[in-house]
Chain A
Amino acid sequence: LAKTTQPISMDSYEGQEVNITCSHNNIATNDYITWYQQFPSQGPRFIIQGYKTKVTNEVASLFIPADRKSSTLSLPRVSLSDTAVYYCLAGSGGYQKVTFGTGTKLQVIP
């Protein structure tokens, strides 16, 4: 299982773009990078997943460089409701166990 490393916490003002970087130096060839969001007293929720280059959905963008040893979750124009913990995971498709890293606690400031 690839180990991931993220900043423990980040602060951002409302309306700004937030970029959270995740390091996964020992990522395997078959591993995908998946990001989850967790609000207090709720279960984690899938945000976005990618294998390489760039993936964008209605919530976020995910940038993965060619060497795939890191990835960056980009949240456009954050609002107060984006205050949450964001987890980056690396694992293969199909049946898998995952290990949650420490996550990044994002605090959006008015």
Chain B
Amino acid sequence: DAMVIQNPRYQVTQFGKPVTLSCSQTLNHNVMYWYQQKSSQAPKLLFHYYDKDFNNEADTPDNFQSRRPNTSFCFLDIRSPGLGDAAMYLCATSSNRPPSAVHGRERANIQYFGAGTRLSVL
């Protein structure tokens, strides 16, 4: 029943060796997000797609790239992983349907997260 699926759950790569993490969703949501979460820290947004429009956070390193070939899939590419890139990477989706004018009748944007991919860099 998983709605946001991340593969693999665990990924080991070598210093400087490109790696790709994948995310797929069955919710047909138009917004997809990538977060980085380091140990004992809150998730940090790297970038997101609103439909096909890519939106990069200002402090996201150029080393991180993303692709979204269709609604269901989104990829995170780390071009040259460093030791500091070891973290949990979380994919999330949401719908941009706004809440109704009568507050509380509809849920505002809720993000649905995958289980994450834990990346180790050797």
Contact = CB atoms under 8 A, between A and B. Distances in A.
Interface of A: 32, 34, 36, 41-46, 49-52, 55, 87, 91-103
User: Is the contact region of chain B dominated by helix, strand, or loop, or is it mixed?
Assistant: loop
Interface of B: 4, 31, 42-45, 48, 50, 88, 90-92, 94, 96-99, 103-104, 106-116, 118
Contacts of A42: 115-116
A94 B103 contact: no
A58 to B, nearest CB: 15
A43 B90 contact: yes
Contacts of A49: 107-108, 110
Given A45-B113, A93-B98, A94-B98, A34 B108 contact: yes
B113 A100 contact: no
Main secondary structure of the interface of A (DSSP, over half): loop
Contacts of A45: 113
A107 B37 CA distance: 20
Given A42-B115, A52-B104, A93 B48 contact: no
A55 B104 contact: yes
